[in-house]
């Protein structure tokens, strides 16, 4: 089982944003156009993107620092306020005057997402800002167990900054885990691992993953091309595939899926916590797949706690056939601890 023998100290670098939700009901079609009319009942906002990674880390008991670039706009101010309310140190954040922080607004009706609209900047940060970010990370790097790069392709993790962070982390024997974006993963060269899903890995390797043979081909290509310590591909309801010196699949027990929003953030955070605690890659991956299974059973960007993960795995084990079969000696031992009766039915 999972024991918190220490508090993981983790740095999250990447694109922070706001997940804004408009919750309502829909009972009619607009007379103006063939679109649904949603009657808004409630409105919520929470940290998204790299911020959702932070929320997952906090839920899993980690200590977190953050590094990103924000602007002077209302979205940026709201992100800073949210981080301060979580008691997150904001000293590693830099600012650019004309930058607009990302805000994703989702309209939800009857547990279904109707539409999403975004407001954000996507331009790369300036070289001057990049140098400031790098300097601050280097000054603090020795205190971290793991660095998580949460890349949403909004211009924070430029090719050169990403490579500088990975190089400096490797020099200090610090894990670097990356949630990648795009179809060229060369910017992540030398990272500990990446967390692409099957579709992303197919695009990045130009290999159509349709069975175990093509999965092995793609996962080996990722490891060799990007010089990863561990090669990993997430497989949705089928769990996770890992390649070190052979292909290993980490299964997950399917539960009802309400919303996959943020599941990748949960996987990244849980892998970071697992490796910080000294778990090997396989136990860390099992921990991450269970955390993701907890999250996708919730609506909206969500998080998982250690307690929820443990409870999920207990229930999952109870549903396995082998957990319900006893050899005679084990059955005698079980019956000796209770005064209850055992009965037989043949199902007719």
Give the Cα separation of 2 and 122 in Å (integer). Answer: 39
| DSSP code per residue over 168-209 | HHHHTT-EEEEE--SS-GGGGTT-SEE--BHHHHHHHHT---
Distances (CA, A) of 6 to 64, 70, 275, 305, 308: 14, 32, 12, 16, 19
Query: Of the residues 19, 151, 259, 265, which is catalytic?
Result: 265
The 10 Å Cβ neighbour count of residue 62 is 22
Residue 195: which of 86, 94, 272, 82 has the closest Cα? 272
For residue 118, the surrounding DSSP H or E stretch is: strand 112-119
Q: Cα(first)–Cα(last) distance of the chain, in Å?
A: 40
Q: Is 118 assigned a catalytic role?
A: no
Q: What is the DSSP secondary structure assignment for residue 333, as one 8-state letter?
A: H
Catalytic residues: 265
């Amino acid at each position: 089982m999972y024991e918190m023998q220490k508090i993981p100290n983790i740095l999250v670098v990447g694109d922070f944003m706001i997940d804004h939700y408009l919750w309502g009901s829909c009972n009619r079609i607009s007379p103006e156009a063939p679109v649904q009319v949603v009657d808004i009942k409630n409105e919520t906002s929470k940290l998204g993107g790299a911020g959702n990674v932070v929320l997952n880390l906090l839920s899993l008991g980690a200590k977190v620092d953050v590094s990103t670039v924000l602007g002077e706009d209302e979205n940026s101010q709201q992100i800073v306020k949210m981080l301060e309310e979580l008691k997150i140190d904001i000293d590693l954040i830099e600012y650019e005057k004309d930058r607009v922080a990302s805000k994703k607004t989702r309209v939800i009706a009857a547990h279904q997402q109707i539409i999403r609209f975004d407001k954000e900047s996507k331009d790369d940060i300036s070289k001057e800002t990049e140098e400031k970010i790098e300097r601050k990370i280097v000054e603090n790097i020795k205190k971290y167990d793991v660095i998580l790069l949460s890349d949403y392709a909004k211009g924070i993790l430029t090719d050169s900054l990403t490579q500088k962070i990975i190089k400096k982390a490797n020099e200090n024997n610090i894990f670097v885990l990356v949630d990648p974006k795009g179809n060229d993963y060369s910017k992540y060269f030398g990272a500990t691992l990446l967390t692409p899903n099957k579709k992303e890995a197919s695009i990045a390797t130009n290999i159509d993953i349709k069975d175990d043979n093509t999965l092995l081909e793609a996962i080996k290509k990722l490891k060799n091309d990007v010089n990863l310590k561990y090669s990993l591909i997430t497989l949705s309801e089928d769990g996770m595939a890992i390649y070190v010196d052979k292909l290993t699949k980490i299964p997950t027990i399917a539960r009802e899926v309400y919303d996959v929003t943020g599941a990748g953030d949960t996987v990244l955070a849980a892998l970071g916590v697992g490796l910080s605690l000294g778990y090997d890659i396989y136990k860390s991956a099992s921990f991450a797949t269970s955390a993701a299974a907890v999250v996708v059973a919730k609506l909206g960007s969500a998080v998982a706690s250690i307690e929820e993960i443990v409870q999920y795995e207990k229930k999952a084990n109870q549903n396995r056939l082998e957990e319900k079969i006893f050899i005679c000696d084990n059955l005698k031992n079980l019956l000796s601890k209770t005064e209850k009766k055992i009965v037989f039915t043949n199902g007719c």
